[in-house]
């Protein structure tokens, strides 16, 4: 049995990860700050059902001020999911939150990890945002990253820090570049959550730009499977891996699928293109297939149906 830390444990990905690990009988220290980037009540809901499962400990607070030496003492794996998320919100006054919660917090964790004798793996949640407007689609990990948002820049900086702590101190990191994650517990600032909520309340859906942008959508259970594999696969240490869902779809087509799921036409409200949004994202996951035996399982219509059921129960 392993002892595991999950940062950002009450968030979208973190809460699913903690739940899966606990169900596998692991001991999990869940860490979350419950900051107000979105309603903390939603985050508390995400993990409310976990308190009764044996092996679960919750530590609340800003991870920049923890005693990591002590926390990491007999920990085998850290899943570092905590971050200030959101591409569009990363401009302007709020940028400091991104440098603090993405770069500084990661550096503090890495600094302690270099002295953690027990630590076998540190799995870092990165983002397809590091690629920006990639010239090659689907995009492989060898492409030069050129983020187009301040958020993407902080995720890339954190990833580079992981690489330096691996090279210089042997910190056994693996970086997973998530491509648009969706499913139950998705953050309220993310597209599908906003779409389904608008439909439920009979409001028009906000569409950025012309609706012809494409995205690689990855269902939450596939993201969890990739994390678990990254923590154990022998060849994964020091690697950066794309994690995509195997379906690259034009937004306009997604809306048709959503209409079929909800059984009624959607009102659309076209607004200006958002600063910092990449036009197209598409993942080449052949490296993750090779190293992690990663194979996305959930097709978009099935995943969207699951998210719709959750949204209906939430509101």
Name the residues annotated as catalytic.
Answer: 151
User: In whole angstroms, what is the distance from residue 126 CA to residue 254 CA?
Assistant: 25
Name the residue among 90, 74, 82 with its Cα closest to residue 32.
82
Name the residue among 15, 12, 21 with its Cα closest to residue 231.
21
For residue 99 the two structure tokens come to: 């440098």
Helices (H) and strands (E) in the chain, counts: 11, 13
User: In whole angstroms, what is the distance from residue 179 CA to residue 155 CA?
Assistant: 13
Residue 205: in which H helix or E strand, if any? strand 205-208
Q: Say if residues 125 and 176 touch (Cβ distance below 8 Å).
A: yes
Dihedral sign of CA atoms 221, 20, 97, 109 in order: negative
Residue 177, φ and ψ in degrees, nearest 5 = -90, 100
User: In whole angstroms, what is the distance from residue 253 CA to residue 19 CA?
Assistant: 32
Per the DSSP assignment, residues forming a β-bridge with 57 are 29
User: In whole angstroms, what is the distance from residue 150 CA to residue 222 CA?
Assistant: 27
Residue 138, φ and ψ in degrees, nearest 5 = -60, 150
202 by DSSP, 3-state: which?
A: coil
């Amino acid at each position: 049995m392993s002892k595991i830390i999950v940062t950002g444990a009450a968030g979208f990905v973190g809460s699913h990860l903690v739940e899966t690990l606990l169900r596998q009988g692991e001991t999990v220290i869940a860490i979350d700050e419950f900051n107000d980037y979105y309603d903390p009540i939603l985050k508390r809901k995400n993990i409310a059902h976990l308190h009764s499962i044996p092996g679960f400990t919750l530590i609340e607070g800003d991870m920049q001020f923890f005693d990591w030496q002590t926390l990491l003492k007999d920990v085998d794996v850290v899943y570092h999911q905590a971050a200030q998320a959101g591409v569009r919100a990363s401009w302007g006054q709020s940028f400091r939150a991104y440098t603090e919660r993405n770069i500084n917090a990661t550096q503090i964790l890495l600094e302690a990890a270099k002295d953690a004798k027990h630590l076998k793996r540190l799995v870092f949640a990165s983002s397809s945002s590091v690629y920006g407007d990639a010239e090659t689609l689907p995009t492989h990990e060898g492409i030069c990253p050129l983020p187009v948002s301040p958020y993407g820049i902080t995720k890339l900086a954190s990833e580079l820090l992981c690489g330096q702590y691996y090279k210089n101190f042997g910190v056994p990191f693996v970086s997973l570049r998530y491509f648009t994650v969706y499913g139950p517990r998705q953050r309220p600032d993310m597209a599908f959550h906003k779409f389904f909520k608008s439909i439920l309340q009979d409001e028009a859906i906000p569409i950025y730009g012309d609706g012809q942008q494409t995205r690689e959508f990855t269902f939450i259970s596939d993201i969890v499977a990739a994390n678990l594999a990254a923590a154990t696969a022998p060849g994964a240490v020091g690697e950066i891996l794309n994690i995509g869902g195997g379906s690259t779809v034009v937004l306009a087509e997604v809306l048709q699928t959503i209409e079929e799921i909800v059984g009624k036409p959607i009102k659309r409200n076209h607004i200006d293109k958002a600063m910092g949004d990449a036009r197209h994202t598409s993942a080449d996951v052949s490296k993750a297939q090779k190293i992690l035996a990663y194979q996305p399982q959930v097709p978009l219509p099935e995943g969207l149906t699951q998210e719709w059921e959750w949204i209906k129960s939430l509101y």
